[in-house]
Amino acid sequence: MPAITACTIQIRSKVSDGLKGTSRVADLPERPNKRDPLINTLCGVMRERSRIEDFMRRSYLLTAALSLLVASFSFADQSQKVVIPVNKTAANDGHGMYANYCATCHGMDGKGHGPAATAISPQPTDLTTLAKQNHGKYPDTHIVSVLQFGVEGHGQATMPVWGPILGTMNRTNFQEKQLRISNLARYLETIQER
C-alpha cells in the first residue's frame, strides 16, 4: 500500500458569493500541525476512512472471488447421472425386476458390465461373487438391507436405494415392497458363481 503523503479532503461550504454546495479541495499535511488541531483531527479521520475503505474494498473483492470459486466448483462437480427408467414389473418376477432395474449398471450377467457401467464411479459390483466374498454363504440379509436402505456411498450418486422406489409401485399394498425386495434378492442368489 502506498504511503500517504498528504490527506486530501473536500470541504463543502456555502460561500457568500452565492455558489451553494461548491467543493474545495484542501491538502492536509502528513505531520501533525501544532497550530491547528482541527486539521490534525481531519487528517486522522481521513486516514482512518481510507483504511476502512481499503478494508471494505478488499473484503468485497475476496467475497466475490470466493463466490466465483464456489460457483466454479459446483459446476465442475456435476457428474454424469445415469437415469434408469422404472417400469412396473410383476412383484414375483425377480429376473424381470433385475432386467428392468439392475442390468443397466450390473449387466444381464450380473458381472458389473452393464451399458451404463462406464459412466459410473466407482464401477458397479460384480453381483455373481457375493457368496464367494462372504465365505461361500450368500448374504441374504445384507442384500435385502442394501436394496431397502442402501449402504454408505450408495443412494447418492452411485446406486439408487431401491426400497422407496419399489414401495411406490403399489401404494395400496405395503407388503408388495417387501415381496419385490425379497424376490430380487432371491434372484441374485441364483446367479452366484459356484
Does residue 154 belong to any structural domain of this protein? Answer: yes
Which residue, of 76, 108, 132, is where some domain finishes? 76
Whether residue 65 is predicted with pLDDT greater than 90 in this model: the reply is no
Q: Which residue has the higher pLDDT, 173 or 112?
A: 112
pTM to 2 decimals? Answer: 0.54
Count how many Cα atoms sit within 13 Å of the Cα of residue 31 in the half-sphere of its side chain. 3
Whether residue 1 is predicted with pLDDT greater than 50 in this model: the reply is no
pLDDT at position 9, please?
A: 47
Which residue, of 76, 110, 134, is where some domain finishes? 76
Cα 84 to Cα 113: distance, rounded to the nearest angstrom: 15
Q: Which cell is 147 given?
A: 436394496
pLDDT at position 192, please?
A: 94
What average pLDDT does this structure show over 57-73? 84
Same domain, 48 and 99: no
Same domain, 17 and 102: no
Does residue 89 belong to any structural domain of this protein? Answer: no
Q: Give me the count of residues in the chain.
A: 194
Same domain, 57 and 114: no
**Residue of 144, 139, 135 lying closest to 185 (CA atoms):** 144
Which residue, of 76, 106, 124, is where some domain finishes? 76
What average pLDDT does this structure show over 53-60? 86
pLDDT at position 128, please?
A: 94
Does residue 84 belong to any structural domain of this protein? Answer: no
Same domain, 182 and 101: yes
| Reported confidence tier of residue 104, pLDDT bands at 50, 70, 90 | confident
Same domain, 72 and 105: no
Q: Which residue has the higher pLDDT, 170 or 157?
A: 170
Provide the residue range defining the domain that includes 61: 6-76
Average pLDDT, the chain: 75
Q: Across the chain, where does the E strand assignment appear?
A: 6-13, 22-29
| Reported confidence tier of residue 149, pLDDT bands at 50, 70, 90 | confident
Same domain, 118 and 181: yes
Does residue 1 belong to any structural domain of this protein? Answer: no
Does residue 88 belong to any structural domain of this protein? Answer: no
What average pLDDT does this structure show over 4-14? 46
Cα 124 to Cα 146: distance, rounded to the nearest angstrom: 14
pLDDT at position 77, please?
A: 53
Does residue 58 belong to any structural domain of this protein? Answer: yes
Same domain, 99 and 143: yes
Strand partners, 13: 22
Cα 102 to Cα 165: distance, rounded to the nearest angstrom: 13
Same domain, 103 and 162: yes
Same domain, 165 and 131: yes
CB 159 within 8 A of CB 141: no
pLDDT at position 115, please?
A: 86
Share of the chain above pLDDT 70, in %: 64
Structural domain tally of the chain? 2
pLDDT at position 15, please?
A: 43
Same domain, 56 and 27: yes
Going by the DSSP 8-state scheme, the letter that residue 69 receives in this structure is H
pLDDT at position 17, please?
A: 46
pLDDT at position 95, please?
A: 93
Q: Which cell is 40 given?
A: 490534525
